[in-house]
Amino acid sequence: METTYYTSPIGNLEIKGTNNEIHSIYFIDDNLAPIEVKSKELQKCVSQLDEYFAGTRKEFELRLSPKGTEFQGRVWNELLNVPFGKTRSYLHQTKQLGDVKAIRAVASANGKNPISIIIPCHRIIGSDGSLTGYAGGVWRKKWLLEHESGSKQQTLF
């Protein structure tokens, strides 16, 4: 397992993976310099994040291996179906998974997503359009949605 650090416009990321797959991408508070990595998949990840933040990449082409329960895996796989620049509600996500009563469990699984940005849990919003919850902070969620939509989110006040 290798680790590197990535400086994004919305904070630093810690990326962990192997030569074959990405295991985690987390926002971190520390300001750590990137570590040169030998892993081809980590190199691809950094390159694709550069393209994403530059606005030239809309889909990631990486092998992902997030660690979690079977249920969490189903939730995270469903997140990969939300297109770039679009949002879905938690309720929509639970319907896609076949159990509208599982909305809290789905929201909890989204919050435990270990691969930020690539598995786009930031694209899931409240049914009323509110930017409810995001492990990296709601301000990051807002930034990511604006970045992907190409427009600023409107506020009422």
Give the torsion sign (CA, 36, 41, 43, 48): negative
Let me know: does 110 contact 96? Beta carbons within 8 Å: no
Task: Determine the Cα–Cα distance for residues 79 and 155; give it in Å rounded to an integer.
Answer: 26
For the question of residue 45 being annotated catalytic, the response is no
Token pair 């994004």 is found at 8
Distance from C-alpha of 43 to C-alpha of 137, rounded to nearest angstrom:
26
Q: What token pair was written down for 134?
A: 């995001």
- Catalytic option among 82, 121, 124, 144: 121
Instruction: Return the H-helix or E-strand segment holding 18.
Output: none
What span, in angstroms and rounded, lies between the C-alpha atoms of 98 and 103?
Answer: 11
Lookup: tokens for 43: 């190199």
Active site members: 121
